[in-house]
Amino acid sequence: MAAGEPVPAQARRGRLLVVATPLGNLGDISRRARESLTASDLVACEDTRTTGNLLRLLGIDGPRLLAYHEHNEREAAEAVAERIRQGLTVALVTDAGTPAISDPGFRLVRECRRLGLEVSPVPGPCAATALLSVSGLPTNAFRFVGFLPPKSAARRRFLTQEAAEAGETLVLLESCHRIEALLGEMLEILGPDRVACIGRELTKAHEALRTGPLGELVPATLSGSLKGEFTLAVAPKGFAL
């Protein structure tokens, strides 16, 4: 091979880079994440429009985008892993935060592990740890729950059987469409004295953070804007500020 010629994909060792991207503030992109996205042959992403816009804002032009989301994850995982096996470097991203943490990515990572392919984390923003760090709640032990079931009966069952007696801080995610119902159920089942922290639109222009007993926190939250994504932390039973 002549000097300066590109190395064929078949001669390279493929790998998967699990790349965390900003929750909202572009300034949170790490130098390593930028370099990883620039160097990748392919970017598997939750929404090609969202990721395409991110790459444009970062001035990155080159990697091809491939849709990899909850609706095609089973089939796409095998296809993407095969590309990695052939020698490509693939960056896995989601719309915001760290892939595979209550977001698509688990099946692709599992398939790569099954095939003995290299998988490397490019860590960065994560809504759960971002909220915990400023919540004022205990962080020596916490449980990440992610999104609760969409049906009220299942949510209430979790709050009654799991959250009510929890001995560690619980971290939940919720959309703007169900946050009002969830907060009402939390107040009813956990009681007005249970301490929690609620974050909305973390790192974005309209970020809102509140910590306090649910009896104060729920009315204050519901009186403001309910647009955007919510992250919630529920303190262990008996915790007081």
Residue with tokens 């089939």: 75
Domain span including residue 117: 12-122
Across residues 202-224, what is the average pLDDT?
96
DSSP H helical ranges for 95-162 = 106-114, 127-135, 152-158
Do 85 and 163 have their domain in common?
A: no
Boundary-marking domain end, from 122, 154, 186: 122
Across residues 182-193, what is the average pLDDT?
98
Do 57 and 134 have their domain in common?
A: no
Handedness of CA 65, 70, 71, 74 (dihedral sign): positive
Do 141 and 99 have their domain in common?
A: no
* pLDDT value, residue 63: 86
Helix/strand/coil for 177: coil
- State the Cα angle at 36 between 33 and 41, rounded to 5°: 145
Do 84 and 111 have their domain in common?
A: yes
* pLDDT value, residue 12: 67
Instruction: Look up the CATH number of the domain holding residue 62.
Output: 3.40.1010.10
The model carries a pTM of 0.90
* pLDDT value, residue 13: 86
Do 101 and 134 have their domain in common?
A: no
How many domains are there within the chain?
2
Lowest mean pLDDT among 4-8, 39-43, 114-118, 211-215: 4-8
Do 210 and 152 have their domain in common?
A: yes
In a domain? residue 25: yes
* Token output for 206: 């309209």
Across residues 174-196, what is the average pLDDT?
97
